Protein backbone atom coordinates (compact mmCIF):
# COMPACT_ATOMS: atom_id res chain seq x y z
CA UNK A 1 0.00 0.00 0.00
CA UNK A 2 1.24 3.48 -0.89
CA UNK A 3 2.31 5.80 1.89
CA UNK A 4 -0.46 8.23 2.82
CA UNK A 5 -0.15 11.73 1.28
CA UNK A 6 0.07 14.85 3.42
CA UNK A 7 -2.91 17.19 3.76
CA UNK A 8 -1.55 20.66 4.49
CA UNK A 9 -4.08 23.40 5.20
CA UNK A 10 -3.59 27.17 5.49
CA UNK A 11 -6.61 28.93 6.93
CA UNK A 12 -7.57 32.36 8.16
CA UNK A 13 -9.53 35.49 7.32
CA UNK A 14 -9.12 37.59 4.20
CA UNK A 15 -5.81 39.44 3.73
CA UNK A 16 -4.00 36.89 5.93
CA UNK A 17 -1.61 35.82 3.17
CA UNK A 18 -3.18 32.43 2.48
CA UNK A 19 -2.54 32.36 -1.28
CA UNK A 20 1.02 33.62 -0.72
CA UNK A 21 1.57 30.73 1.70
CA UNK A 22 0.11 28.31 -0.86
CA UNK A 23 2.38 29.57 -3.65
CA UNK A 24 5.41 29.47 -1.33
CA UNK A 25 4.53 25.89 -0.34
CA UNK A 26 4.30 24.84 -4.01
CA UNK A 27 7.59 26.58 -4.81
CA UNK A 28 9.37 24.83 -1.95
CA UNK A 29 7.76 21.42 -2.53
CA UNK A 30 10.40 20.36 -5.02
CA UNK A 31 7.89 18.98 -7.54
CA UNK A 32 8.19 19.14 -11.30
CA UNK A 33 5.47 20.90 -13.32
CA UNK A 34 4.03 17.55 -14.49
CA UNK A 35 3.79 16.35 -10.87
CA UNK A 36 1.65 19.29 -9.77
CA UNK A 37 -2.00 20.24 -10.25
CA UNK A 38 -3.14 23.65 -9.01
CA UNK A 39 -6.83 24.51 -8.93
CA UNK A 40 -8.92 27.48 -8.13
CA UNK A 41 -12.72 27.46 -8.11
CA UNK A 42 -14.30 28.64 -11.36
CA UNK A 43 -16.47 30.98 -9.29
CA UNK A 44 -13.44 33.13 -8.49
CA UNK A 45 -13.33 35.59 -11.37
CA UNK A 46 -11.08 38.25 -9.89
CA UNK A 47 -8.20 37.41 -12.22
CA UNK A 48 -7.72 35.40 -15.40
CA UNK A 49 -9.16 31.89 -15.13
CA UNK A 50 -5.78 30.15 -15.34
CA UNK A 51 -3.85 32.09 -12.74
CA UNK A 52 -3.91 32.54 -8.98
CA UNK A 53 -2.72 35.88 -7.71
CA UNK A 54 -2.04 37.33 -4.29
CA UNK A 55 -2.79 40.76 -2.89
CA UNK A 56 0.97 41.39 -2.94
CA UNK A 57 1.38 40.43 -6.60
CA UNK A 58 2.58 36.78 -6.53
CA UNK A 59 1.23 34.59 -9.32
CA UNK A 60 0.99 30.90 -10.21
CA UNK A 61 -0.60 29.07 -13.13
CA UNK A 62 -3.67 27.02 -12.28
CA UNK A 63 -6.66 25.19 -13.66
CA UNK A 64 -10.16 26.44 -13.09
CA UNK A 65 -12.30 23.92 -11.21
CA UNK A 66 -16.00 23.92 -12.03
CA UNK A 67 -18.94 21.52 -12.24
CA UNK A 68 -17.60 19.90 -15.40
CA UNK A 69 -14.18 19.19 -13.90
CA UNK A 70 -13.51 15.50 -13.28
CA UNK A 71 -10.56 15.32 -10.93
CA UNK A 72 -9.71 11.68 -11.66
CA UNK A 73 -9.28 12.48 -15.37
CA UNK A 74 -6.61 15.08 -14.60
CA UNK A 75 -4.55 12.83 -12.32
CA UNK A 76 -1.65 11.12 -14.01
CA UNK A 77 0.80 8.51 -12.69
CA UNK A 78 3.18 11.46 -12.15
CA UNK A 79 0.85 13.52 -9.95
CA UNK A 80 2.44 14.08 -6.53
CA UNK A 81 0.85 17.28 -5.26
CA UNK A 82 -2.55 18.92 -5.69
CA UNK A 83 -3.03 22.53 -4.58
CA UNK A 84 -6.42 24.16 -3.95
CA UNK A 85 -6.69 27.92 -3.62
CA UNK A 86 -9.87 29.50 -2.19
CA UNK A 87 -10.68 25.99 -0.98
CA UNK A 88 -13.86 27.14 0.80
CA UNK A 89 -15.57 27.41 -2.59
CA UNK A 90 -14.94 23.80 -3.68
CA UNK A 91 -17.95 21.50 -3.45
CA UNK A 92 -17.82 19.23 -0.38
CA UNK A 93 -18.43 16.35 -2.79
CA UNK A 94 -14.79 16.41 -3.86
CA UNK A 95 -13.62 15.47 -0.36
CA UNK A 96 -14.13 11.74 -1.00
CA UNK A 97 -11.99 12.09 -4.16
CA UNK A 98 -9.32 13.91 -2.19
CA UNK A 99 -9.29 11.21 0.49
CA UNK A 100 -8.79 8.56 -2.16
CA UNK A 101 -5.87 10.51 -3.64
CA UNK A 102 -4.30 10.91 -0.19
CA UNK A 103 -4.53 7.15 0.30
CA UNK A 104 -2.65 6.72 -2.98
CA UNK A 105 0.19 8.84 -1.63
CA UNK A 106 -0.69 12.09 -3.41
CA UNK A 107 -0.32 15.13 -1.16
CA UNK A 108 -2.77 18.02 -1.02
CA UNK A 109 -2.18 21.61 0.04
CA UNK A 110 -5.19 23.86 0.46
CA UNK A 111 -5.66 27.51 1.39
CA UNK A 112 -8.98 29.07 2.27
CA UNK A 113 -11.28 31.04 4.52
CA UNK A 114 -12.22 29.02 7.60
CA UNK A 115 -15.19 31.33 8.28
CA UNK A 116 -17.55 33.26 6.04
CA UNK A 117 -18.40 36.91 6.79
CA UNK A 118 -21.03 35.74 9.29
CA UNK A 119 -18.32 33.69 11.08
CA UNK A 120 -19.89 30.39 10.01
CA UNK A 121 -17.72 27.42 8.93
CA UNK A 122 -17.11 27.94 5.22
CA UNK A 123 -17.80 25.22 2.62
CA UNK A 124 -15.17 22.52 2.24
CA UNK A 125 -12.78 24.08 4.78
CA UNK A 126 -14.01 22.37 7.99
CA UNK A 127 -13.58 18.93 6.38
CA UNK A 128 -10.07 19.79 5.22
CA UNK A 129 -9.13 21.24 8.62
CA UNK A 130 -10.46 18.24 10.57
CA UNK A 131 -8.42 15.88 8.42
CA UNK A 132 -5.26 17.95 8.01
CA UNK A 133 -1.88 16.40 8.76
CA UNK A 134 -0.52 19.95 9.05
CA UNK A 135 -2.82 22.82 10.00
CA UNK A 136 -1.52 26.39 9.71
CA UNK A 137 -3.45 29.39 10.99
CA UNK A 138 -2.65 32.68 9.27
CA UNK A 139 -3.72 36.08 10.53
CA UNK A 140 -4.17 39.53 9.11
CA UNK A 141 -4.07 42.82 10.99
CA UNK A 142 -7.33 44.27 12.30
CA UNK A 143 -8.38 47.32 10.28
CA UNK A 144 -9.72 48.98 13.44
CA UNK A 145 -7.20 48.34 16.20
CA UNK A 146 -4.15 46.66 14.60
CA UNK A 147 -4.52 43.54 16.74
CA UNK A 148 -4.37 40.07 15.20
CA UNK A 149 -7.31 39.67 12.81
CA UNK A 150 -9.16 36.35 12.62
CA UNK A 151 -12.46 37.49 11.08
CA UNK A 152 -13.61 38.76 7.69
CA UNK A 153 -15.94 41.72 8.05
CA UNK A 154 -18.18 42.67 5.13
CA UNK A 155 -18.51 46.39 4.72
CA UNK A 156 -21.41 46.20 2.25
CA UNK A 157 -24.88 45.28 3.48
CA UNK A 158 -25.30 42.95 0.48
CA UNK A 159 -26.44 39.60 1.91
CA UNK A 160 -25.32 37.35 -0.95
CA UNK A 161 -22.92 34.84 0.65
CA UNK A 162 -20.56 34.60 -2.28
CA UNK A 163 -19.66 38.17 -3.03
CA UNK A 164 -16.20 37.72 -4.44
CA UNK A 165 -14.25 40.77 -3.75
CA UNK A 166 -11.38 42.55 -2.21
CA UNK A 167 -10.87 45.50 0.06
CA UNK A 168 -13.88 47.23 -1.53
CA UNK A 169 -16.20 44.83 0.24
CA UNK A 170 -14.27 43.20 3.04
CA UNK A 171 -11.81 43.99 5.77
CA UNK A 172 -9.92 41.92 8.31
CA UNK A 173 -10.91 42.41 11.94
CA UNK A 174 -10.10 40.93 15.31
CA UNK A 175 -12.96 39.09 17.04
CA UNK A 176 -13.84 42.12 19.23
CA UNK A 177 -13.99 44.67 16.40
CA UNK A 178 -15.88 42.15 14.27
CA UNK A 179 -18.56 41.83 16.98
CA UNK A 180 -18.74 45.61 17.41
CA UNK A 181 -19.24 45.98 13.64
CA UNK A 182 -22.09 43.45 13.61
CA UNK A 183 -23.75 45.14 16.59
CA UNK A 184 -23.57 48.50 14.79
CA UNK A 185 -25.19 47.02 11.68
CA UNK A 186 -28.03 45.48 13.69
CA UNK A 187 -28.70 48.83 15.46
CA UNK A 188 -28.69 50.84 12.23
ZN1 LIG B 1 -9.67 45.03 16.31
C-alpha of residue 84 to centroid of ligand 1, in Å: 29
Domain positions in the chain:
7-138
pLDDT values of the chain reduced to their tens digit, one per residue, 188 residues: 579 999 999 999 999 999 999 999 999 999 999 999 999 998 776 667 789 988 778 899 999 998 888 898 999 999 999 999 999 999 999 999 999 999 999 999 999 999 999 999 999 999 999 999 999 999 999 999 999 999 999 987 655 666 666 667 899 999 999 999 888 766 55
Answer yes or no: pTM beyond 0.85. yes
- What pLDDT, on the 0 to 100 scale, is given for residue 67? 82
- What pLDDT, on the 0 to 100 scale, is given for residue 27? 94
C-alpha of residue 103 to centroid of ligand 1, in Å: 41
C-alpha of residue 104 to centroid of ligand 1, in Å: 43
> DSSP E strands: which ranges in the chain?
7-12, 36-41, 51-53, 59-61, 63-65, 81-84, 107-113, 134-137, 140-141, 148-149, 151-154, 170-173
Under DSSP, is residue 75 helix (H, G, I), strand (E, B) or coil?
Answer: coil
| Complete edge-to-edge strand list for the sheet that includes strand 63-65 | 63-65, 36-41, 81-84, 107-113, 7-12, 134-137
Q: How far, in Å, CA of 77 to CA of 34, rounded?
A: 10
- What pLDDT, on the 0 to 100 scale, is given for residue 19? 95
- What pLDDT, on the 0 to 100 scale, is given for residue 65? 92
C-alpha of residue 176 to centroid of ligand 1, in Å: 6
Fold of 7-138: Rossmann fold (3.40.50)
Instruction: Give catalytic residue positions.
Output: 86
Amino acid sequence: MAEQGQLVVYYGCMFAGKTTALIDYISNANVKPNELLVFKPGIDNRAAKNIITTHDGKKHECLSYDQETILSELITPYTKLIALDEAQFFDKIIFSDLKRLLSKGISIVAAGLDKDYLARPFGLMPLLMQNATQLNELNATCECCNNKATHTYRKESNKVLVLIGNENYYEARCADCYQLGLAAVIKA
